[in-house]
Each structure stands twice: as structure tokens, then as C-alpha cells.
Amino acid sequence: MGTSFLSSEEYDELAHRHYDAGEYDEALHVLREGLAQYPESVLLQVGLGYTRVAREEYAWARQCFERALELDPEYEDAWVGLGESLLKFGKVDEALECFARIDEMGLADDLELGLTVGRALYREGLFTDARARFSALSAAHPDSAELAAARGYTLHALGDDLGARRELRRAVRLDGELHEARIYLSHLLHDRGDQRGALTELEQVPPEEHWDTLSLWRYIELKSQLDGVADDDAWFLPWRERLEELDAEPDEIDHLLAEVEASFEGAVDEGAQAALELSAQMDFIMKILGAPPAEAAAVKPAPHRVRTAEGSVFEGSWDEIVAGMRDSCGEPTITLSSFMRRAARQIRERTGTDVPFHSAEAFLKAGARMGLLHIEE
């Protein structure tokens, strides 16, 4: 069906459907077509900006948001988008000024805007600023489970595990189906030594709602130890089936995507990418995977050397380095692809950034560009 007679709002709705489905190329095409007909549409300019953000085209995204603000200086979503884009280039003070404009417009208590701003700050490792934003919102929205969970994640990143557990408990009380928050809480309880509490939380998460193998294996282990259910009991069948789904080898489409990702490895602007994420994210990933604090990993010397944010050093081939990271987490039996897939999923959930995981070299180099680790060679 042609789109020649659509209104700007209809173009925006169509682009949103593509965006929500992860079809960013299609969304981009629709928005460009819409802007060709409605060049003064602030709505479409902002939509184009966020689509550029999703495609990690931050310089173009910034231009879109600046153009939107030229058309309407009071458009709050454009100020938020511009702030997000500026953070990607390390312009923290300018980004905070953009977010402050939201408050000056009387929208400091807007839940959706506040969550967007707080999460953007969190992704860039600005945890103190994120906590301040979430805490201010909490007074106006005490019943928001999403907000409580976001505050819990931030408190954990700041080292306040007690506060994090309290907020995550509140989140799952407010919304019993907020499974990500419940799994996160179970990990914190397990780290604290409260195995029964960790199991109690995991028991309330259906197998299909698990997106990493650690929580599945942990449930099986705790259920066996604490309740005496045999490891090969039929009770665990749904959990083992889910494990097989997550551990499944990548299909041909995955391989093709990996090749495309690899082909662009050398074409990335290292200077711009260096500001994407901060090293505290790797600390979160290693904690959530249950990695013990290690000064270094005993891997045989080879051409490559990698140092993680917490100071662990790994040497060897790319595969050997990833294997060392996996082993330091205490799970040497899982495959490298499963380990990288799980870590990539956790990074995406916390930062919104996709990391290639079908190649150890691509996986590590992407982590280095994001500031999660340093390649010393």
C-alpha cells in the first residue's frame, strides 16, 4: 500500500510499529518519506532522531534533535533525545543542561521522561545522577514497579546492595510479573549467602522468562540442594528445555549477521565509540555472572592480553581469553558461545547496546570500544 496520502501522525505511527519490531531500516525509510512531505514536522524529526540512536548513529541523531528544537524549542522529547546523544560524545555537562530544561518546563515528575533520562545516565555510568533522578521521581510515583527496579539496579551499581535489595523487593511486590527484577534480586540474595531466599525468588519465574543460563542452572542447583529434588528428576524438564533453547547453536541467519558485523569491525570510528559506555558496566556483568574477584587468570601466554575493569588479566588467543573469563566465573563446562551470548544479553539489557557474540575477537573488541575492558597489545 502506498503512503503518499498519509498524515505526519500516520507516518509516525507506521514508523513506530517498525521501530517496536526492531525494524530500524524500515522505520528510517518511513520517516524519511514522511519528512519529504512534511519537512517542518517536529514529531517526525524526533522519531528520526530516536531511530538514529537505535542504529547507534549518534552524530546524525544529534542533528535530528537539534533540528526539532529549532522548529519547537519547547518539545520535551527532543531535549531528552539531544541529551542522550550528547552523553554518547562525553558531553556530560551539556547533556545535564538538556535534562534540566525538562525540569524547567515543569515536567520533572513525568514518569516516562524521567525513566528515559535516568536510564540514559545509567547506561553512561553516571550512577549518582541516575540515582538522583530516580529518587526524585519516586516521591511522585511510589507505586511504579519499573521505577523501583531501575532505582534498585542503580543502587547496586553504586555498591549499596542493601538498598538495592530493598528496592527490588518493592518492585516485585508492586508487579509480581516483573521477572527481570526478581531474577536480579535472586542473584543479589545468592551473593549474600541467602540461598533459600534466592530459590524463593527463582521459583516464581517461569522457565520461559529466563534469558540467561545462569539463573536456570542456579534454580536447578538450589532446588536440588535445598529441597532434595534429584538432578535428573522430571520436575526440571521445563528448565532443561529452556537451557537447550538458550544454548542452541546459532542458525544460518546468526552466522550471516556475524559475518556482516565482522566486516565492519575495521570501519568503526574509535574516537566516537570510546565514549559509548563506561567500565563499571563490566563490573556489573561479572558480578551478575557470579565471578569471584581475581587478580589475574592463569592462561598461557600468547599474542593478546586483556585487562578487565576490575583488574583481572587474561592472555592467549581470542578464544583462550574468553575461556579464561568464563572459567573465572566458575562455570568451565558451558560453551564459549553460550558464555558470550549470555554476557551480550546482559550488556544489552543494561545499556541498550548490542555486542557481537559469535566471534571471540569481535566480542572482545566490542567490549574494548565500549570501555568494558582494555586490550593490551
Give residue 269's pLDDT. Answer: 40
Give residue 71's pLDDT. Answer: 95
Burial class (CB in 10 A: 0-12, 13-18, 19+), 323: buried
Distance CA 368, CA 362 (A): 10
pLDDT surpasses 60 at 312 = yes
How does pLDDT run across 139-157, given as a tens digit for each residue? 999 999 999 999 999 999 9
C-alpha cell at 305: 592480553
Distance CA 254, CA 355 (A): 13
Q: What is the maximum alpha-carbon separation in the chain?
A: 67
Q: Which of 224, 298, 202, 364 is nearest to 373 (CA)?
A: 364
For the ranges 114-118, 185-189, 263-267, the lowest mean pLDDT is seen at: 263-267
The arithmetic mean of pLDDT across residues 129-138, rounded, is: 95
pLDDT surpasses 70 at 286 = no
The secondary structure of residue 358, as a DSSP letter, is: S
pLDDT band for position 261 (50/70/90)?
very low
| Of 26 and 281, the one with more pLDDT | 26
Distance CA 161, CA 133 (A): 19
pLDDT band for position 260 (50/70/90)?
very low
pLDDT band for position 304 (50/70/90)?
confident
| Of 357 and 28, the one with more pLDDT | 28
Long-range contacts of 50-53 (CB under 8 A, 24+ apart): 50/19, 50/81, 51/15, 51/19, 51/24, 51/27, 52/28, 53/81, 53/84, 53/85
Give residue 285's pLDDT. Answer: 45
| Of 268 and 8, the one with more pLDDT | 8
Give residue 151's pLDDT. Answer: 95
Cβ-contact 290, 329 below 8 angstroms? yes
pLDDT surpasses 70 at 91 = yes
Give residue 318's pLDDT. Answer: 85
Give residue 358's pLDDT. Answer: 67
For the ranges 235-249, 279-293, 296-310, the lowest mean pLDDT is seen at: 279-293
User: What CA–CA distances, in Å, run from 55 to 80, 157, 179, 228, 262?
Assistant: 17, 26, 27, 48, 16
How does pLDDT run across 323-348, given as a tens digit for each residue? 888 877 766 666 777 778 778 777 76
For the ranges 50-54, 158-162, 255-259, the lowest mean pLDDT is seen at: 255-259
For the chain, state the CA radius of gyration: 22
DSSP H/E element including 304 = strand 304-308
Give residue 343's pLDDT. Answer: 80
The arithmetic mean of pLDDT across residues 16-44, rounded, is: 93
pLDDT surpasses 80 at 249 = no
Distance CA 72, CA 68 (A): 6
DSSP H/E element including 375 = strand 373-375
Q: Which of 311, 281, 277 is nearest to 294 (CA)?
A: 311
SS3 306: strand
User: What CA–CA distances, in Å, run from 369 to 265, 276, 363, 374?
Assistant: 11, 8, 10, 9
Distance CA 56, CA 51 (A): 9
Give residue 377's pLDDT. Answer: 64
How does pLDDT run across 170-217, given as a tens digit for each residue? 999 999 999 999 999 999 999 899 999 999 999 999 999 998 888 899
Q: Which of 176, 179, 138, 141 is nearest to 155 (CA)?
A: 138
Distance CA 217, CA 208 (A): 14
The amino acid that residue 137 corresponds to is: L
pLDDT surpasses 50 at 127 = yes
* Mean per-residue pLDDT of the chain: 82
Residue indicated by cell numbers 597489545:
377
| Of 148 and 283, the one with more pLDDT | 148
